[in-house]
Structure 1
Amino acid sequence: MDLWKKSRSFFDQLISIFNEMKAAFANAAFFYARGMPHI
């Protein structure tokens, strides 16, 4: 069951990267919306 462990850690890495990208995107969208002149 070594292969299962390997794929498991790979998916964990993928999920953590996805979460980081999601957080960065939310931050960028927030700052972009705040910096825009509201009409």
Structure 2
Amino acid sequence: MAAAARARVAYLLRQLQRAAWLFQILDMEQELQRKW
């Protein structure tokens, strides 16, 4: 039971990391468009 909960938490953390990474890239693209 605890192992399943830990696996779920690890999975959610990975998804959050991926989302943060994507938002960072979108942010950078907007910055570049502003400069050009």
> What TM-score does the superposition give when structure 2 sets the normalisation length?
0.90
Instruction: Answer 1 or 2: which has greater helix percent.
Output: 2
CA RMSD of aligned residues (A): 0.8
Residues 1-39 of structure 1, C-alpha deviation per residue, up to 9 Å, x if partnerless? x111000000000000000000000000011012104xx
Identity in percent:
3
Unpaired runs of at least 5, structure 2:
none
Q: Which amino acid aligns with 2:18?
A: N
Q: Following TM superposition, where does structure 1 have runs of at least 4 consecutive aligned residues deviating by more than 4 angstroms? A: none
**How many pairs does the alignment contain?**
36
Q: Give the unaligned 5+ runs of structure 1.
A: none
Q: Find out whether 1:5 has 2:9 as its counterpart.
A: no
Distance 1:27 1:17 in 2: 15
